[in-house]
Amino acid sequence: MKPKTILAFGNPVYDLISTPALRRNDRVLSGCSTNACLAASKLGEESILVGTVGPDFNERLSRDLDYWKIGSHLYPSIQTGGFSLLYDEHGNRDLAILGVADPIPPSADGFNRADFVLIGPILGETGPELVHHIHSMLAVPILLDPQGLLRVLHNGWVHHEHTREFDEIAALSTVVKANELETQVITGIDPRQDPEGAVRALHRHGGQIAVVTLAEAGSIIFDGQDIVQIPPYTTNAIDPTGAGDTYAAGFMVKYLETPHDLAAVGCFASAVASVMVENSGPDFPLTRQEADRRAVQLLEGPLRVKLSN
C-alpha cells in the first residue's frame, strides 16, 4: 500500500519538560505538528512539516528531521520556539516561554500534494489567511488542533482564551480535536462533567467531526449523527507531552483507511497516543504493528455508541 502523506503546519519547538516521573535538563524536540509528523513517520507514512526555525536550532532541527525521516518546508525566524512545561500529579501543566518563533508566511508554498492536512500551531503561527490559502490549494481533509490558537502571552506565561482566529479556522476544518482545557475554553462546558454536551458544543463551532480528548478517561467523537466514546489504553504514563498530537496522527492515518468507522479510528488514535505517554521525547518506540495490536484490544472492549437526537 502506498504511504499516505500527512502535511502538518505548525512550528517545531525545543522544550524543557518536568513531570512527577521525570525531569529533563536537555531541550527536547516537540510541538503539535512535529509530534504528529513523528508518529506518522513511525507508522510508515510520509510526513512533511511546515514551520519556522531560528539560527539557534536550525542545524539541530535539520539533523533531527532527517534522522526521523520527516520532510520539511522550513522558513527562517529570528529564534526558535520553546516552552518550559511543568506538570503536576494530575497532568495539569504550566507553560512558560523559552522562545517565540515567527508566524508561517500566509502564502507558504512548496507543497502540491497531501492526503490529510494538520493545522497544529503552538502559538498562533497559523493564521486564517494561511489556512484559507491551504484550503484553496488542497482538496483534502483538514484536522485542526486548536491549542496554539487559544494561547495568549501575559508576562511570559501562557493563558488560554477563545479567539476569533479559532472560529475562522474551525469553519474550514473537517475535524476539530481539542483536549479538555481547550474544549472548556471554546464551549464553556467542562467535558469531565458533561462530555456529550461538550463534544456537541464543539461540533457547532465548525468541522464535520468533533473530538474531545480526556487523557486517562479516553476520548469522545461526534460526527453530527453518532457519539462514540473511546476508552483509553491503560498504561504507565511517564510524560503526557505530545499525547494529543500523536492521537491526531493516529486519527488521520486510520481515518484515511476507514472513514466510516469512527470507533476504529478513535481506538487506533488512542493506541498511538498510549505509546507516546509511556516515553518522553521523540524516540518513543511506536510501530504500526503495536498500534494495531493495542487498537484491537480497545475495539474488543466496551465501546459506547449513541445515536444523536
**pLDDT greater than 90 at residue 240:** no
What distance lies between CA 276 and its chain's CA centroid? 12
CB proximity list for 193: less than 8 A, separation 6 or greater? none
Terminal Cα distance for the chain, rounded: 39
pLDDT, tens digit, for every residue of 17-28? 776 666 666 788
Work out the average pLDDT over 62-74.
96
Residue written as cell 527562517?
Answer: 76
- 158 closest CA partner among 99, 80, 237: 99
CA dist 278 to 107, 177, 235, 252, Å? 38, 22, 7, 21
- 161 closest CA partner among 147, 172, 173: 147
**pLDDT greater than 90 at residue 93:** no
Q: What percent of the chain has pLDDT over 70?
A: 92
**Given pLDDT bands bounded at 50, 70 and 90, which one contains residue 234?**
confident
**For helices 262-277 and 32-42, what crossing angle results, to 10°?**
100
**pLDDT greater than 80 at residue 256:** yes
Q: What's the pLDDT score for residue 246?
A: 96
Q: What's the pLDDT score for residue 52?
A: 97
Residue 72 is inside which H or E element, if any?
strand 71-76
- The b/e string for 143-171 (b: 16+ C-beta within 10 A; e otherwise) is bbbbbbbbbeeeeeebebebbebbebbbe
Instruction: Give the integer Cα–Cα distance in Å for 11 and 87.
Output: 22
**pLDDT greater than 80 at residue 289:** yes
DSSP β-bridge partners for residue 50: 9, 73
- The b/e string for 268-290 (b: 16+ C-beta within 10 A; e otherwise) is bbbbbbbbbbbbbbbebebeeeb
CA dist 197 to 7, 217, 306, Å? 31, 16, 13
Q: What's the pLDDT score for residue 155?
A: 76
